[in-house]
């Protein structure tokens, strides 16, 4: 039992479910507390001790099914279903021989002669443990493990023993027909046994390696480029973003509190408490100044970066209340302010509106030069040294004038100018990308192609 639980834990770890040694010990203890005959309780005992996140339940169920429902479970009477047992045939002609074997036969040979499914299965499982079949990782190793299993079982010798048994049968005067039937039954049993071994190997492979592929997909999602996401993935991403936002908020809340906590103001405490005869009844704390940074964000929403913009807007929305003011603009070939959408609507609706209803033409070509100029003309006066200006876009100008000097003038007015580019760094400056031209005027330029980079950026921005 212990071994099976340990192997199960190994599989969980293989599927990216972190299990500590302490938890494994808990699982062993818990399993000892429930009656083994009750499958449901046993599963619950393992789950409560090993898997502590709702999103891992499905994987737990899958692996639990693989480990504890068929072969390979040792001493779990409830769910024991000897799968291929019906393939083993009893050999009637051998019965007399078995009563008095008259030679020494190995346990396996005896099992095959008697068609005793339970017995040969337990031998197979024992052999699997003997060669550490659970260590198997790739399907390419199946052949080599098959060989090891057969060696461990002494398969060749078993074959000879079975031949010997047939001869013995002949010696004892079995008819040719009886002999032929016995030979056929033995042949079938031997094949069934080899099939059983192959099945064991397959199951082990499923336990461990099958999760490799899934893990790959999951890892990939956080690292996948926004532009390559399918609709389904976008839906999944939305949840990831929601969780990210939650995490950010809690982090920001901590920062905020630390900021507000302040130190005790001794001077003012003493003065305030003069009325109590100098006994400090009321404590006065020095208040820290609230952070006054303002964020102004310009987000490209042209079709080439549409997917990325959506996630950026999501996070812009989320950080609104962390700064004294956040103004958001979207642009394609002209500039439209969407701050009021953000202030008035729920997150999803606000983003929908920002992506569809701002007073701009959504289906034209991005014109960075014109947009910068427009921003410069209308909003330059509102920029101060407390402003963090964030530009989000791929910097692809459609070969229109870049007007990088505007960016330089903007840069001189603000505290920071950050450019987030959803294109890979290697693409910057190729074709109509004016990124290299704009970059020198930015405080920092960051590649922001996927969720991981985006969240890293927001972390840095607020903390």
Question: Which residues in 49-68 contact another protein (CB under 8 A)?
Answer: 49, 51-54, 57
Choice from 147, 243, 271, 292 touching another protein (CB under 8 A): 243
**C-alpha to C-alpha distances, 211 to 9, 17, 201, 290, nearest whole angstrom:** 14, 11, 16, 49
Residue 40 as a binder of another protein (CB under 8 A): the answer is yes
Shortest distance (Å) from residue 23 CB to another protein: 6
Dihedral (C-alpha) 366, 369, 372, 375: value to the nearest 10 degrees? -80
**C-alpha to C-alpha distances, 170 to 71, 110, 173, 179, nearest whole angstrom:** 36, 17, 5, 7
Q: Other C-beta atoms within 10 Å of 301: how many?
A: 27
The span from the CA of 174 to the CA of 170, in Å, is 5
Residue 274 as a binder of another protein (CB under 8 A): the answer is no
**Please, which residue, 33 or 99, has the CB nearer to another protein?**
33
Shortest distance (Å) from residue 72 CB to another protein: 24
Shortest distance (Å) from residue 18 CB to another protein: 7
Percent helix, strand, coil in the chain, to 5, is 65, 10, 30
Total of chain residues touching another protein, rule CB under 8 A: 31
Shortest distance (Å) from residue 259 CB to another protein: 14
User: Among candidates 376, 311, 363, which has minimal Cα distance to 332?
Assistant: 363
**Please, which residue, 28 or 439, has the CB nearer to another protein?**
28
Q: Other C-beta atoms within 10 Å of 344: how many?
A: 10
Question: Which residues in 324-383 contact another protein (CB under 8 A)?
Answer: none
- Give 98-106 contacts, CB < 8 A, sequence gap 24+: 101/165, 102/168, 103/161, 103/164, 103/165, 103/168, 105/161, 105/165, 106/154, 106/157, 106/158, 106/161
Stretch that binds another protein, among 19-27, 153-161, 169-177, 387-395 (CB under 8 A): 19-27
**Please, which residue, 95 or 282, has the CB nearer to another protein?**
282
Q: What kind and span of H or E run contains 326?
A: strand 325-331
Choice from 140, 176, 274, 279 touching another protein (CB under 8 A): 279
Q: Other C-beta atoms within 10 Å of 19: how many?
A: 19
The span from the CA of 378 to the CA of 141, in Å, is 68
Shortest distance (Å) from residue 407 CB to another protein: 39
**Please, which residue, 40 or 86, has the CB nearer to another protein?**
40
**Please, which residue, 32 or 195, has the CB nearer to another protein?**
32
- Separation of CA 68 from chain center: 24
Tell me, residue by residue from 429 to 448, as one string, x for binding to another protein by CB under 8 A and - for no binding: --------------------
Choice from 47, 74, 183, 268 touching another protein (CB under 8 A): 47
**Please, which residue, 23 or 334, has the CB nearer to another protein?**
23
**Burial grade of 104 (CB within 10 A; 0-12, 13-18, 19 or more):** exposed
Tell me, residue by residue from 248 to 267, as one string, x for binding to another protein by CB under 8 A and - for no binding: --x--xx--x----------
**Please, which residue, 269 or 398, has the CB nearer to another protein?**
269
| Contact set with another protein (CB under 8 A) | 18, 20, 22-23, 26, 29-30, 33-35, 40-41, 44-45, 47-49, 51-54, 57, 243, 246-247, 250, 253-254, 257, 279, 281
């Amino acid at each position: 039992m212990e071994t099976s639980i340990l192997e199960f834990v190994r599989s969980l770890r293989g599927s990216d479910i972190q299990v500590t040694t302490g938890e494994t010990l808990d699982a062993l203890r818990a399993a000892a507390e429930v009656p083994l005959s009750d499958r449901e309780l046993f599963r619950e005992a393992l789950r409560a001790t090993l898997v502590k996140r709702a999103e891992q339940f499905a994987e737990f169920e899958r692996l639990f099914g693989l480990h504890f429902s068929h072969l390979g479970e040792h001493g779990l009477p409830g769910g024991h279903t000897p799968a291929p047992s019906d393939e083993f045939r009893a050999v009637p002609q051998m019965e007399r021989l078995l009563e008095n074997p008259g030679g020494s036969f190995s346990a396996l040979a005896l099992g095959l002669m008697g068609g005793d499914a339970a017995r040969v299965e337990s031998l197979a499982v024992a052999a699997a443990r003997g060669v550490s079949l659970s260590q198997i990782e790739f399907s390419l190793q199946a052949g080599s493990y098959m060989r090891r299993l057969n060696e461990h079982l002494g398969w060749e010798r078993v074959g000879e023993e079975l031949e010997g048994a047939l001869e013995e049968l002949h010696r004892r005067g079995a008819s040719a027909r009886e002999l032929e039937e016995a030979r056929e039954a033995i042949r079938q049993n031997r094949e069934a046994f080899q099939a059983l071994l192959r099945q064991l190997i397959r199951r082990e492979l499923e336990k461990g390696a099958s999760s490799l592929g899934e893990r790959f997909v999951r890892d990939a999602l956080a690292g996948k480029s926004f532009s390559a996401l399918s609709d389904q993935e976008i839906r999944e991403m939305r949840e990831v973003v929601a969780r990210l936002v939650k995490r950010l908020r809690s982090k920001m809340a901590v920062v905020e509190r630390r900021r507000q906590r302040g130190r005790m103001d001794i001077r003012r405490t003493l003065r305030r408490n003069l009325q109590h005869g100098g006994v400090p009844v009321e404590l006065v704390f020095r208040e820290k100044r609230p952070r006054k940074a303002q964020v102004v964000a310009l987000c490209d929403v042209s079709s080439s970066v549409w997917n990325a913009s959506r996630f950026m807007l999501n996070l812009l929305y989320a950080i609104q209340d962390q700064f004294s003011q956040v103004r958001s603009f979207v642009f394609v070939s002209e500039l439209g302010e969407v701050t009021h959408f953000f202030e008035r609507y729920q997150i999803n609706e606000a983003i929908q509106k920002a992506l569809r209803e701002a007073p701009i033409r959504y289906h034209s070509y991005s014109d960075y030069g014109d947009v910068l100029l427009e921003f410069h003309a209308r909003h330059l006066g509102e920029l101060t040294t407390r402003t963090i200006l964030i530009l989000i876009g791929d910097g692809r100008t459609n070969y229109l004038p870049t007007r990088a000097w505007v960016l330089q003038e903007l840069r001189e007015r603000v505290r920071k100018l950050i450019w987030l580019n959803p294109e890979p760094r290697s693409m910057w400056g190729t074709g109509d990308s004016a990124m290299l031209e704009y970059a020198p005027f930015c405080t920092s330029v960051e590649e922001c192609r996927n969720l991981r980079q985006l969240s890293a950026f927001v972390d840095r921005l607020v903390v």
